[in-house]
Structures are given as C-alpha cells and as structure tokens.
Structure 1
Amino acid sequence: MPEPLLAQVTLPPNLVEHAEALIQDGRRHLLGIAGPPGSGKSTLAELLAASLGERAIVVPMDGFHLANRELARLGRADRKGAPDTFDAHGYRALLKRLRQAHPAETVYAPAFHRDIEEAIAGSILVPAEVPLVISEGNYLLLDQAPWAGIKDLFDECWYVAVDDQQRRSRLVNRHIRFGRSQEAAEAWVDHTDEPNARLIAAYREHADRIINWSD
C-alpha cells in the first residue's frame, strides 16, 4: 500500500498515457516498477493502478518475502529485504503464470503485510479480464542469479529515482511507524536498507524508463 505520508502525491506527467499505450491491443501486459527501498515505487504503482481503474491491478514483489521463521533458520533475519531473503523463483513463476493465464483463469497472488511482517498467500485476486498487471519491487532489474531474466518477463520496467536524503527519511519514519525506536530505525536503514539501495541503483540503467520523482 502507498506510504501514508505520500497519499496526496500526484503522478509524474504522462505516466498514465504510457501505461495505457501498453494495453491498446486488449491483451494481458505486465509493467514492472523497480527502485530502492523508500523510493516511492509502491505509491507510484498504486496511484497508477487507481488512475486506470478496473484495467490494472498491483501485484508487489514483496509477497515473496521468505517467512520470518525461515529467515531465522537460514541466519538471514537481520538482512530481511536483501536479494536472498525472497523466493525469487516463486516470483518468476507467478509472473509467467500472469502472462500466460487462460482467458477464464483467476490468479491469486501473495501480499506482504507490514503489521505482521509476513506474506500471506492468496491475498490478491487477479481477474482474467484485467489487461495490465503492475508489479513493483526492489530487484526487478538485477541480472544476477536467481533474479537474472526477470526483467524480460515485463513489457516495460521503470525505475523510480528520488533524492537519497528524502528516501532515507521515509525509511526511518516507516520503521518507527511499525514499532522500532529512532535509534533502531536508523541502524536498520544504515546496515540493511542502504546496502540494498546501492545494489539496486547499480542496475538503474537497465530500466526502460527512469522516473525522477520527489514530493
């Protein structure tokens, strides 16, 4: 869902028109929106889908977070959000299914719930008649295993760029909102979110469109 502090932000110019151009033939198309943590990609995806109404639905990559119990077993709980803390193969399989869905098939996708910090299967219903699926996430543009080739499953993949200080402020506020102290929130951003952000930014030139967006 969009960040509460960004709820009144308007879309950058012409993005709705670009999205509409993808679905003129009436077939199912996939649009990816990538960007580092706190860039506003979730908000952009939700606002874009709202502008398109029943013609679009958002299926975030975050639904493929590994469960907290599994992260603890793997020793990765303190790096939650890093590339190896997601089920990339499951995400790839869902994207393929969404592209190839039978005209009468409804697809159910998982969604990540921040209030419990877990993904729940079957949370998002994607009716067969919806022509545009928008999927936003951190690692859509990576070309390293197991993420390599995921970009090719999208008709277009955009990258959301934003001022680093603004992005960091959003992240700290988000972590505080979901229960961390100011000190703990800043530490998590420094040691977990920012290394991921640098990795994601290294692949921004792989995007079909770079969106410079700030409120």
Structure 2
Amino acid sequence: MTIERDVQDVTLAQLVQWARALVVPGARRIIGLTGAPGAGKSTIAEQLVTALGPDTAVLVPMDGFHLANDVLIDLGRRDRKGAHDTFDDGGYARLITCLRAQRADDAVVYAPRFHREIEESIGSAIPVPPTVPLVVTEGNYLLLESGAWPAARSAIDEVWFLAPDNEVRHTRLLSRHEAYGRSPEEARFWALGSDERNAELIESTAGRADRIVRLP
C-alpha cells in the first residue's frame, strides 16, 4: 500500500503545537502515535512529552501490553512476538478507557512498561497523575479494526500515523535489533521477516489516521 500522497512533512515543533492545541485544563485528552516498526514512534512520543513538560503530558506506550514470553510459548507465538495477537489488546483498551475517564480528584493510575533489555513488561511502572491533562500513547496497532483495538481507538482523541521512508525505517530496525544483542543475521531475520509482515498490516490502517506525517 502506498500512502505517499497523504503524507504531511512536519517538524517536531509542529507536533508540539498541535498537541498543545488539544490540551484542555481540567479535562483529559489522549493523542496516539502509530506506524510500522521503526517508524520512530517511541522516540517522537518521548520528545513530544519532554517538550510539553511533566505537568502537561505523560507517555503511556502500548508496548507495556506485550504478552509475557511464557504465555507466548504456550500459545505457540513466541517466534513472531510483536504481531497484533501477541499483545493483551483487551488490557490496553481497558487502561486507555480508564485514562480517558480519569478526573482531577481521582487516584493515580499505574500503567505497565515494556523493557527491551529483558523482553518483558513490568506492571505498575508508569504513574499517570489525574491532574496531567494530556496522555500520549504510541504503538503499532492503534488503528486496527479487530479484537479490542477499536475500543482503545474510541477513547483516543487523535491518532497520528508516522510514515518515514522505508529505507530509514529498515535502518532503524536493524540498529535496534543489534543494539539489544541480536547478531546482524538475526537482526535482518526479524527486521525483514516478522517486522515487515507486521508493517504491511499496519500501513493498511493508515487511512484511518487523523494525520499522516513524516519528520526530517
């Protein structure tokens, strides 16, 4: 699928400006960043939240809902970790719905965090204070129309699809896999195998995004 004709070339400053425009003091808004593996979702989400400041925004990644490796082994899915059915989509949808409804006098909500060093998630690792007006979430499957993913999407105000050039995306993926201990051969196996199959599915959802963007 080609999405080139729909892509807006933007800067991080523009994304920050768009995010600020969604902030309503005393209310909760949620922005989602999605895109294929290697699109830069986690990096840009972190930069966005840093620019907005801790009193305005908090980052809650979808990756915290990776199913545990033991569960994936039991299901026979360990060799394709990262596919849409290797996540707890229902748990993610429930958390995003809870965060959307969170109000200033509610308790802190704690979200899980995925640690690539151990390839596992740690529960209750990200505190989400009720007074922070904007939650930024990022992940591959925010626009998927199956399972519980649509329930999560319905609680997100806007979803932005990141669409870098494929050469840039592949280079990032290879570097990421090698940085976390995979050999060059293993990195290519994942980046051009499972990751690429996932990318094709994810790119097919781009038309449902509120914005399709590319950063320099």
Do they fold alike, i.e. is TM over 0.5?
Answer: yes
Q: Distance in 1 between matches of 2:68 and 2:147?
A: 20
Match of 2:176 among 174, 177, 180: 174
User: Does the CA contact (< 8 Å) of 2:93 and 2:148 recur in 1?
Assistant: no
Runs (5+) with no aligned partner, structure 1? 1-9
- Number of matched pairs: 205
Map Cα deviations across residues 142-190 of structure 1 (whole Å, 9 max, x no partner). 1122323422211111100001111011101111111110001101112
How far did 1:17 drift?
1.3
Structure 1 position 98, deviation (Å): 0.4
> In the alignment, is the contact (CA less than 8 A) between 1:104 and 1:128 conserved in 2?
yes
Q: RMSD of the TM alignment (CA)?
A: 1.3
Secondary structure at 2:138's aligned position in 1? strand
Pairing 1:33–2:39 present: no
Asked if the contact 2:12–2:48 (Cα under 8 Å) also holds between the matched residues in 1, the reply is no
**Pairwise mapping of residues 79-94 of structure 1 onto structure 2 (< 5 A)?**
79-94=80-95
Cα shift readout 1:64-99 (whole Å, capped 9, x = no counterpart): 000001001100000000000000000000001101
Q: Matches of residues 107-118 of structure 1 in structure 2 within 5 Å?
A: 107-118=109-120
Which residue type is aligned with residue 27 of structure 1? A
Contact 1:11 1:47 in 2 (8 A): no
So what's the TM-score if we normalise by structure 1? 0.92
Offset from partner CA, 1:28-75 (integer Å, 9 cap, x none): 111111111100011111111011102000000000000001001100
> Is the CA contact (8 Å cut-off) linking 2:206 and 2:212 kept in structure 1?
yes
- Tell me the residue number matched to 1:70: 71
More divergent stretch after superposition (89-98 vs 148-157)? 148-157
- The residue aligned with 1:12 is 12
Q: Which runs of 5+ in 2 are unaligned?
A: 1-9
CA contact (8 A) 1:31 1:132 kept: yes
Match of 1:203 among 197, 202, 205: 205
Alignment of 1:130-141 (within 5 A): 130-141=132-143
Instruction: Pick which of 100-109 and 90-99 moved more.
Output: 100-109
Q: Which amino acid aligns with 2:89?
A: A
1:123 alignment partner, SS class: strand
Structure 1 residue 13 displacement after superposition: 4.1
TM-score (norm 2): 0.91
Q: What is the identity, as a one-letter code, of the residue corresponding to 2:80?
A: R
Determine what percentage of the aligned residue pairs are the same residue.
49
2:62 aligned with 1:61: yes
**Larger deviation: 131-140 or 103-112?**
103-112
